[in-house]
Amino acid sequence: MREPTALYNAPVQMEPLVIDSSRPLYEPLIGLAYELAELSSRIDAKVHPSTARGLADLVAGMNCYYSNLIEGQHTLPLDIDRALRELVKPEQKDLKSLAVAHVATERWARSRSIGKDSLLPFVLEAHFRFCSALPEDMLRIEDGTKLTPGEIRRRDVQVGYHVAPAWQSLDAFLDRFVSFYGTRLESAGKGGTSKLAAIVAAFCAHHRFVWIHPFLDGNGRIARILLDAMLRACGINGASLWSMSRGFAKTQAAYKAALAEADRSRMGDLDGRGTLSEKRLHDFCDYAIRTAIDQARFMEGILDLDRIAQRSEAYFTRVRFDIKGREAHELFMRAFVHGEIERGEAARITGLSERSARTLLGTLLDEGFLESDTPKGKVRAGFPLHALGSLLPNLYPAGDLDVDVEQLKAERRSRRLSNPRES
């Protein structure tokens, strides 16, 4: 197979890396960044940290589902849910291993902070972790070449019409990428205009990373994980309560078109001063930030306390006739609002006898409406897959949430009874 002839071999050919602040295009992006920052802060502030912990895992699953969907691979929410509960092993040679790989990498990424010195190590480690969790047959690209986890590509590649930078020049391109965007991430901590400029830069970096195409495969998924991490470094979506990948997948044609358009060369004297088009980079950022705002606004509505309470009450009292619905609703909402509740408080909260309260608590734990780290520890709100369409609607396409409820219950009960750290 003949390799494409690379057009780019010097980092200056990646310019511009951001929109010039003196250009009329710049201020509207700063305005959008401000709107996103304010919205994200409201969402993070409205959810108790313990409740946010469970929601963040839920969003990690959504990131997995939608990021894989963008790449043309359909991982089911059920397999993702099992990966989150560590019931799927990476040696399984099917799409379940994609769920394991993505969820594990997401969890690792959320535990890391990034700046100028850690940006490239983060990228390499994320790729290594993701690919290392895949079976060998999934590491073969179309021409049969085996992908090495965490290794920068050693040949030239073409993606669509875009011929990525020459592989011999990748170190120089990545050094420039890290130096430029890492410096802006570090300035985000100063707040004010620096923070807003860093948010815009993070979206610019998303395109430029995909444009560099540092790995033979896996660049799209790693680019989206990196974008989430860069936004967190800017103080955006710190609790991981909404999914950028969901927004990109919901507007997949526009996402791919905007990325491709931003690959274009400079279009005349009024189109910035770099090799690439400043106008098209602006258009990508405008699309991407608006998509982020749309997703944050969507989750703000989903997590509105009054609406959560209404959906909880409707589910437990109108759908679940096999349990004490009103009391189950009260326990779930108390845990959701306050983050955690003592097990011994269940009888007082519900008005049930101690025995009945313990039975109901056990049922909610078995089904995942409540979670706990230890057999006797406090419990917090959980969000089981089989009730997701009722409690937090429209996170996934409805048809993909069809599950065997009794099997899910049995899996959770078995894991709880076999693991002394859980309850």
- For residue range 178-229, list pLDDT tens digits in order: 999 999 998 887 777 799 999 999 999 999 999 999 999 999 999 999 999 9
Query: Over pLDDT 90: what percentage of the chain?
Result: 73
Average of per-residue pLDDT across 115-130:
95
Write down how long the chain is.
423
CATH code of 305-418, in short, is 1.10.10
**The pLDDT of residue 92 is above 60:** no
Stretch among 148-157, 347-356, 412-421 having the lowest mean pLDDT: 412-421
Distances (CA, A) of 221 to 19, 53, 143, 296: 25, 23, 20, 20
pTM: 0.91
- Quick check: do 19-302 and 305-418 share a fold? no
Residue 233: per-residue pLDDT: 95
19-302 folds as Fic-like fold (1.10.3290)
Q: Which two tokens stand for residue 215?
A: 């790995």
- Per-residue confidence band for 409, with pLDDT thresholds at 50, 70 and 90: low
Distance CA 93, CA 136 (A): 9
Average of per-residue pLDDT across 345-360:
95
Stretch among 61-65, 260-264, 336-340, 417-421 having the lowest mean pLDDT: 417-421
- Per-residue confidence band for 1, with pLDDT thresholds at 50, 70 and 90: very low
Domain ranges of the chain: 19-302, 305-418
Stretch among 117-121, 221-225, 259-263, 398-402 having the lowest mean pLDDT: 398-402
223 within 8 A of 63, measured Cβ to Cβ: no
324-335 pLDDT, tens digit per residue, is: 999 999 999 999
**The pLDDT of residue 405 is above 80:** no
Distance CA 360, CA 349 (A): 12
Torsion from C-alpha of 118, 124, 125, 130, nearest 10 degrees: 140
**The pLDDT of residue 421 is above 80:** no
Location of structure tokens 């990131």: 63
